[in-house]
Structure 1
Amino acid sequence: MGFLVGGYNDQIFILWQSWCMNAEGAFNATSFCSYYAYPYGIDINVFYSQPILWGVFFLLARVLGGVTAYNILIFLGGALGLLFSYLLFRKWFSFYVSVSLALSYALSSYFFVHVGSHVDLSQIWVFPAFLLIFLKAIRSQKLTYYLFSGLFISVTLLISNYYGYFLYLLSLLFFFIEVIKPEVFRNGKKLLWKVFAFAVMGISSLIVAIPFVTPYFRANFISNTQDSLEENKLKVVRPIEDFFIFSSRPWHFLLPSTRNPFFGKFSEEVISQLERKDYFLFKNYFHDEHAGLFLGLSNLLLMIFSVYLFFKSQVELKDREVMLKMLFVLFMLILFSFPPYFAVSQSKIYLPSYALYLFFPMFRVLSRLGVIILLVTLFISGFGLSYIEKKIPNILFLIILLLLTSFGLVQSFVPVRLTNVSVTPPVFTFLRYNTSKDSVIAVYPYTEGNKVLFWMREHQRRFANPRGFHIGDFDSAEFTSKLKTDEGLDDARISGINYLLVFKSSSAASLHFFKGSEQIRLLKEFDDSYIYTFN
């Protein structure tokens, strides 16, 4: 299988699904698998609400294997991101400026953060590709391009629900801009045409997607307590706290990843200082989402320079309108990425993101708007670069551009882990050949659950506590955390678990508890783990 891009992260579930679809015997499952979260099992719906992406993935996985298919799709996401962002920027800027901006987009912190865990979020090409069509629609005023824009949103929604949702939000902002333009708002005929064009776009955006998103829409917006079990499974309930944890803060746009080899220590110190302050919005830095918000200091300085040129009327007249639109879109997207409200004294000041929480609570990770915020920031900064390009000798400009681009890429770099999955960890081979086939295993700590799930292809045993699973009164995270107590071990034995796989990544206190417990005994020790069985 070679190397897997990323560690044992969120992508493991679809890799496990792809294995299930191609496995032999009892493990072959296309609808239900009893080996996952024993004794509950899980329905396997490999296409659910993103059928285009998963259809391509599972087709490739059947031919090349899940790991190779995953690696190919994330590579394509970055390569197409580079291509379509270049084509977008090339409509306004020179070749060299466009290449620089496209590299900054395709090799951004956002892409590096998600490339090792979310194949859908790695498809960053959809945003520049959409703007290529949509900005053409606005400039040409041809209904055909509005129709294509809508169809593109529909396709995007079936590639990534989050990205389709973001394109709806982006379109809504442009709609507002277009209808409040004085020459449109004061002209009834133009206003009616504009509303009609966007209506066509909205309707066409549902044509492809509606059969797939209707069950989710019904479950989340029309459902009631009498709904079927199937509809209840599709219902997503997110507490408002999630919208605070996974939203952006102003400093997230300014700080490189804490894992950046050059500036990470600085970011870590700043975040640590902020978290010491007694204010809730300074808490909860979550690297795997918030690090993707970094825009690059050189990009920010160039954007500020572009804004300065705009107000000094140094931007060409033909570009002033699109730049003004992008500035408004940038401002609103940043507001939408912020928490639903912040508190001043005893008062709450609500932000536009509160409306997103009320109407679309299933999309809780507002910080993912950073990918569009970056694209728009780069677009605006391109006008500053173009101005400099016209004012200085070409060779000097290329040197400056190379330095700025290199500095930006160094700042944005986030190391991506490569996991060697060509060698099976011995612990899983031992489980396969030294335990009965109907055995049930549990893992500790919770963070190692994805590793056990991925290597089910080797150990082939029922797995009781995979990450992220909860049903009824059972919550896998809570169950796992209790395993380091006598009560937790009692619950595990009663529920039918035969073996406890404890990794040495556990805390010293937890390892000491398992070693001294009279309820279990050590069966085998490995370099990275222990296998215990119940007395």
Structure 2
Amino acid sequence: MKKNILIALAFFALIVAATFPLVFKITTYIPGFFSSDEHYFVIWHSWLVNLSLTNNLSITKTNLIAYPFGVNFYIGQLVCYLFLFINYSLSLLTTPMLTYNLQVFFNHFFSSLFAYFLAYHLTKVRAIGFLSGVIFGFCPYIFMRSWQHLGETYLWMMPLILWVLFRLKEKNTKRSKVFFVSSLIIATLNFGVVYYSAIILITFCLYLILYNWKNMSILPKELVRSDILYLKGIFSLLIISFLFLLPQFYPIIKNTIFSYGTRPSAFNLYHRPFEDLFEQSARPLSYFLPAVVHPVFGKFTEQFIGSPLYGMSFTEHTLYLGWTPLVLAFVAVRRWRRMRRERKKLGTVPLQNQFNSSIGDNPLQREDFYIGFFVFLVIVAWVFSQPPWWNIFGFKIYMPSFFMYKILPMFRAYCRFGIVVMLAVAVLAGFGLKFILERFKSQKIKLVVAALFCGLVLFEFWNWPPYKVIDISKVPAVYYW
């Protein structure tokens, strides 16, 4: 516990440095960069919520806009009850700037912390968990979201769900089941994460079946029975979670069904234009070029903005994975493939089900399974982030977004699946560092090597100077006319 607290304090200190000088001007500054605009409404709405709650006014409608008719904020909206609860509570207890900044700060913190817990659970090495936490919690994607879309900074539920999912499979206890259901409910802080998590869970269940099928020519009955019981258990817990969330999901399902007969529009939240899927999908260089805000390499990336190779949006197409994480992930995959080839030559097969009470006694099996899963997840998430089709010499190769649009026409920014790719790469990079550290015997050398890689990652993901903050205390010149 003491070491985990020190890890958490280290994340806290790094967040203070990475968002500098936000913490020291937290009541007057908000995170932002040259194209930030949408967070002004969030801050204004926080002020309005406080005004409404303290003066017994409606929190759903106001006539301060479009007077005398007013505006209803929640008609036809995708309402996240937990997100509203947090915003309303902070709006009532703090200032609008604190309402925004506290959420940004703690979302960075929890993203790092739960990625750490996930990687530490898989590798049993804290330094490796810390690296994975740095990669996921400090990636440019999350910073870009904090400068534009507050709700999209709620991403820490993904590593939380995976962490709890793996614990549930290894220890099928009532406590693990409660944690799993709770993590699914918490995921509704961001409906995008609900979608990503659904794909992650489907990918995991499919991989579990394929893994056992591929490694055993004839599946033992007890293994088949164990997998079936596990999948049934997951399905049952998903049903329980859905029943808890039905009051929230029902209007969404109803509006989605009705939206099929409506005209797609940028203002129709349940039926977005199909063309948006092309504009807001990943491009070949989106994952490999540093963020445009990087103080050293950003200028190089700027020349690709608006090109078919990178994309048009500073926010949506910043999916940079980092070359340090990619190299470490490559080390993990290479070692994994070599182990599988050697095992194949020896003609060995897993001696027991991958997930049972004695999994901790089988580190090679454990690594083989989990590395394979995250490689599979990288591929699935990357494919989901692509446009509806690739047009190769007039021949169309359809991607998942083409088919998913017919089911979920409200979702258009499939490039956001890049954060799922980032999470999987962060875990694979952790395994890569683990294999590198195994070459050294001295604990001091291991810590130095781990610190070196953490430093390289932070350098790749750094975003100032100039500082990425906006001084809200300064009144815009337009109000002095």
> Do the two structures share a fold, i.e. TM-score over 0.5?
yes
**Match for 1:349 among 391, 397, 404?**
397
Compute the displacement of 1:142 (Å): 4.9
Report SS of the residue matched to 2:470. strand
1:69-80 matches, cutoff 5 A: 69-80=99-110
In structure 2, the residue matched to 1:101 is 132
For 1:191 and 1:402, the matched residues in 2 are separated by 40
Aligned counterpart for 2:208 among listed residues 165, 178, 181: 178
CA contact (8 A) 1:22 1:28 kept: no
Equivalent position to 1:41, from 55, 66, 70: 70
- Between the aligned partners of 1:27 and 1:41, the Cα distance in structure 2 is 17
The residue type paired with residue 187 of structure 2 is T
Deviation at 1:2, TM superposition (A): 1.4
Shift of 1:248: 1.0
Q: CA deviation at 1:338?
A: 1.0
Paired with 1:250 and 1:27, the residues of 2 have a C-alpha distance of 52
* Structure 1 position 217 matched with structure 2 position 257: no
1:286: which partner in 2?
A: 313
Give the TM-score normalised by the residue count of structure 1.
Answer: 0.71
Greater strand content: 1
Aligned residue among 36, 39, 42 for 1:11 = 39
| Structure with more relative contact order (C-alpha pairs < 8 Å, separation 6 or more) | 2
Query: Structure 1 pair 66/237, CA: closer, same or farther in 2 (3 Å)?
Result: same
Q: Distance between the aligned counterparts of 1:321 and 1:3, measured in 2?
A: 46
Counterpart AA for 1:370: G
Q: Which blocks of at least 5 consecutive residues in structure 1 are unaligned? A: 227-232, 276-280, 431-523, 525-535
Corresponding residue for residue 383 of structure 1: 431
Structure 1 residues 355, 364: closer, same or farther in 2, change over 3 A?
Answer: same
Structure 1 contact 30–45 (Cα < 8 Å) conserved? no
Determine if contact 2:284/2:309 at 8 Å carries over to the other structure. no
From the superposition, tell whether residues 144 and 284 of structure 1 become closer, same or farther in structure 2 (CA, over 3 Å).
Answer: same
349-358 or 315-324, which moves further after superposition?
315-324
Letter in 2 for 1:98: G
2:229 aligns with: 193
Q: Shift of residue 417 of structure 1? A: 2.5
* Structure 2 segments unaligned to the other structure (5+ residues): 1-26, 341-362
**2:311 and 2:317 in contact (8 A); partners too:** no
Pick from 167, 186, 189 the counterpart of residue 155 of structure 1: 186
User: 8 Å contact 2:285–2:310 — kept in the other structure?
Assistant: no
The amino acid of 1:285's aligned partner reads M
Matched residue SS, 2:428: helix
Is 1:52 the equivalent of 2:82? yes
- Give % identity: 20
* 3-state SS of paired residue (1:313): helix
How far apart, CA to CA, are the structure 1 residues paired with 2:234 and 2:118? 22
Task: Determine the C-alpha separation between the residues in 2 that align with 1:139 and 1:113.
Answer: 36
Residues 6 and 417 in structure 1, CA contact (< 8 A), matched pair in contact too: yes
Mapped to 2, the partners of 1:223 and 1:107 lie a distance apart of 37
Matched length? 415
Q: CA deviation at 1:368?
A: 1.6
Question: What residue identity is the alignment partner of 2:408?
Answer: F
Contact persistence 2:128–2:431 (CA under 8 A): no
Question: Corresponding residue for 2:118?
Answer: 88
What is the rounded CA distance, in whole Å, between the counterparts of 1:288 and 1:345 in structure 2? Answer: 30
Q: Is the 8 A contact 1:178 1:194 kept in 2?
A: no
Residue 478 of structure 2 is aligned to residue 420 of structure 1: no
Instruction: Determine the structure 1 residue equivalent to 2:242.
Output: 206
Contact 1:27 1:33 in 2 (8 A): no
**Length-normalised TM-score, structure 2:** 0.79
Query: Residue 120 of structure 1: SS of its match in structure 2?
Result: helix
* CA shift digits 1:105-157 (9 cap, x unpaired): 21111111111222222123212211110111223345763564244222211
Higher Cα Rg, which structure: 1
**Distance change in 2, residues 1:135/1:35 (3 Å):** same
Cα displacement string for residues 200-243 of structure 1 (whole angstroms, at most 9, x for unaligned residues): 132022133210121111011256769xxxxxx97511122111
- Partner of residue 338, structure 2: 312
Q: Structure 1 residues 323, 420: CA separation in 2 closer, same or farther (over 3 Å shift)?
A: same
Q: CA deviation at 1:268?
A: 2.4
